[in-house]
């Protein structure tokens, strides 16, 4: 045999030299769920290790993440039923706790990247991302609501706004409104290829935001489609998106790769709640090693082409990196140093 690929896998040092993908904590975004009341740190049952947090607990959590090198956070609100209505008016009200918490977080941690969520679902009695009339999710009538939400969030100090609603034209509407109001530095991380997925379950548990009737298939993409993601990417980029996102991540690695290879805009991947819950559940049963599975999963999402990874394992990964127990690092397995005969001892 003239060629033996195994030669390049023989030692940790050689494997390190030719490793193509290096995941860094810089690439990671940690999601946080916020609640209005004080003194709350309540675990999400379907997503162990993740909590609904009051403002104080969120500040503590961010501080802990910063110590581990995580600088990027995406915030979601758990909205009490009493604030919900047809048109999501609470989403941009001055006394909205999500906006107030964000301002506090901004004040305490000016250096972090703080990402928002724009969609009507947590604020809507219908639980849909857009305005519902006669059982239909309306597109153009939703845009002004999303725009008001965007302006309120920009004002609260978010660095990047995350329209996750999949309405047509929303990136352009939001960009125009932001610029007109002078928020030229507030960016948009568009949920470009967001699929109608079964893997959002634990998230909807955490926020109590599941649709009251029907599903999201008239606005979120069909999991069977790949090329349609190019149309969405083209539109979002034309309309001013600073990041384009694929969501979920693992069943959609081909879509991540497609967008990476056909655009110049940074690609984010959202490793969603259900995908993380699968690993946690299997690990709880002792069916796989969580640390190894997390490292492999995140590395492979990056290999597919994601520049940014939003994952509930951001902190977990950062802890592994700090302990230097990652397989993709030179530290493992420890190279054995051969005992040398010392010629000066003779
Ligand atoms: C809301 C939104 C959802 C997620 C992020 N923003 C749920 C949905 O569209 O139903 C899912 C995130 C996750 O599952 O981790 N528009």
Report domain extents, the chain. Answer: 20-345
Compute the distance from residue 133 Cα to the ligand 1 centre, in Å. 22
> Ligand 1 within 6 A of 275 CB?
no
Give the burial class of 227: count Cβ atoms within 10 A of its Cβ; 0-12 exposed, 13-18 middle, 19 or more buried. Answer: exposed
* Closest atom, ligand 1, to C-alpha of 194: 9
pLDDT confidence band for 327 (50 / 70 / 90) = confident
Contacts of 332 (CB under 8 A, 6+ apart): 12, 324, 325, 326
Say whether 246 sits in a helix, a strand or coil.
strand
Compute the distance from residue 246 Cα to the ligand 1 centre, in Å. 12
Between CA 342 and CA 346, with CA 345 as vertex, the angle to 5 degrees is: 105
Question: Which residue of 74, 116, 220, 272 sits with most ligand 1 atoms within 8 Å of its CB, as the best mutation to test the pocket?
Answer: 272
Per-residue model confidence (pLDDT) at position 210: 87
Compute the distance from residue 36 Cα to the ligand 1 centre, in Å. 20
Residue nearest to atom 10 of ligand 1 (CA): 200
* Closest atom, ligand 1, to C-alpha of 31: 15
Structure tokens that stand for 27 in this block:
């690439």
Range with the poorest average pLDDT among 26-40, 105-119, 202-216: 202-216
Q: List pLDDT tens digits, range 63-98.
A: 999 999 999 999 999 999 999 999 999 999 999 999
> Ligand 1 within 6 A of 126 CB?
no
The CATH class for the domain spanning 20-345 reads alpha beta
Q: List pLDDT tens digits, range 38-51.
A: 999 999 999 999 99
Compute the distance from residue 274 Cα to the ligand 1 centre, in Å. 10
Specify whether the CB–CB gap between 46 and 89 falls below 8 A: no
Q: Which pTM value belongs to this model?
A: 0.94
Q: Is the pLDDT of residue 330 over 80?
A: no
* Closest atom, ligand 1, to C-alpha of 273: 15
Compute the distance from residue 165 Cα to the ligand 1 centre, in Å. 9
Per-residue model confidence (pLDDT) at position 337: 57
Q: Is the pLDDT of residue 333 over 90?
A: no
Active site residues per annotation: 194, 247
Query: Taking each helix axis from N to C terminus, what angle separates 314-323 and 290-304, rounded to the nearest 10 degrees?
Result: 110
Average pLDDT, the chain: 94
Q: What are phi and psi of 344, to 5 degrees?
A: -80, -10
Number of other CB atoms surrounding residue 169 within 10 Å: 14
Q: What percent of the chain has pLDDT over 70?
A: 95
> Ligand 1 within 6 A of 197 CB?
no
Range with the poorest average pLDDT among 19-23, 209-213, 253-257, 296-300: 209-213
Cα distance between residue 313 and residue 57, in whole Å: 18
Residue nearest to atom 14 of ligand 1 (CA): 200
| Radius of gyration, alpha carbons of the chain | 22
Residue nearest to atom 2 of ligand 1 (CA): 164
> Ligand 1 within 6 A of 119 CB?
yes
> Ligand 1 within 6 A of 203 CB?
yes
Give which of 219, 209, 33 is closest to 126, Cα–Cα: 209
Distance (Å) of CA 21 to CA 241, 244, 304, 308, 320: 26, 20, 10, 13, 17
Per-residue model confidence (pLDDT) at position 334: 47
Contacts of 60 (CB under 8 A, 6+ apart): none
User: Which helix (H) or strand (E) covers residue 155, if one does?
Assistant: helix 143-156
Cα distance between residue 111 and residue 233, in whole Å: 29
Compute the distance from residue 318 Cα to the ligand 1 centre, in Å. 23
Place of tokens 């509930």: 312
Q: Is the pLDDT of residue 324 over 90?
A: no
Per-residue model confidence (pLDDT) at position 27: 97
Place of tokens 């109590």: 208
Residue nearest to atom 8 of ligand 1 (CA): 200
* Closest atom, ligand 1, to C-alpha of 271: 15
* Closest atom, ligand 1, to C-alpha of 164: 16
Compute the distance from residue 322 Cα to the ligand 1 centre, in Å. 29
């Amino acid at each position: 045999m003239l060629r033996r690929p195994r030669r390049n896998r023989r030692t940790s040092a050689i494997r390190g030299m030719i490793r193509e993908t290096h995941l860094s904590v810089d690439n990671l975004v940690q999601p946080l769920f916020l609640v209005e009341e004080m003194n709350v740190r309540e675990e999400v049952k379907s997503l162990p290790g993740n909590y609904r947090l009051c403002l104080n607990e969120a500040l503590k959590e961010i501080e802990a993440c910063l110590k581990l090198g995580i600088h990027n956070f995406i915030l979601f609100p758990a909205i009490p039923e009493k604030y919900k209505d047809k048109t999501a008016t609470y989403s941009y009200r001055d006394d909205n706790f999500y906006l107030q918490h964000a301002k506090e977080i901004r004040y305490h941690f000016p250096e972090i990247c703080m990402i928002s969520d724009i969609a009507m679902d947590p604020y809507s009695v219908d639980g849909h991302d857009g305005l519902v009339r006669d059982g239909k999710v309306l597109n153009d009538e939703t845009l002004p609501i999303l725009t008001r939400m965007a302006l309120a969030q920009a004002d609260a100090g978010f660095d990047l706004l995350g329209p996750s609603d999949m309405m047509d034209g929303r990136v352009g509407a939001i960009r125009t409104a932001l610029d007109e109001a002078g928020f030229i530095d507030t960016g948009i991380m568009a949920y470009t290829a967001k699929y109608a997925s079964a893997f959002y379950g634990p998230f909807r548990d955490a926020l109590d935001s599941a649709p009251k009737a029907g599903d999201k298939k008239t606005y979120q993409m069909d999991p069977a489609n790949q090329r349609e993601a190019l149309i969405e990417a083209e539109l979002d980029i034309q309309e001013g998106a600073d990041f384009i996102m694929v969501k979920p991540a693992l069943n959609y690695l081909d879509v991540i790769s497609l967008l990476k290879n056909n655009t110049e805009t940074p690609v984010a991947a959202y490793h969603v709640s259900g995908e993380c819950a699968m690993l946690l559940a299997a690990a709880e049963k002792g069916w796989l090693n969580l640390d190894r599975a997390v490292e492999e999963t995140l590395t492979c999402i990056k290999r597919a082409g994601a520049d940014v990874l939003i994952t509930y394992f951001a902190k977990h990964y950062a802890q592994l990196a700090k302990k230097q127990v990652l397989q993709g690092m030179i530290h493992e397995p420890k190279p054995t140093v051969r005992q040398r005969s010392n010629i000066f001892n003779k």
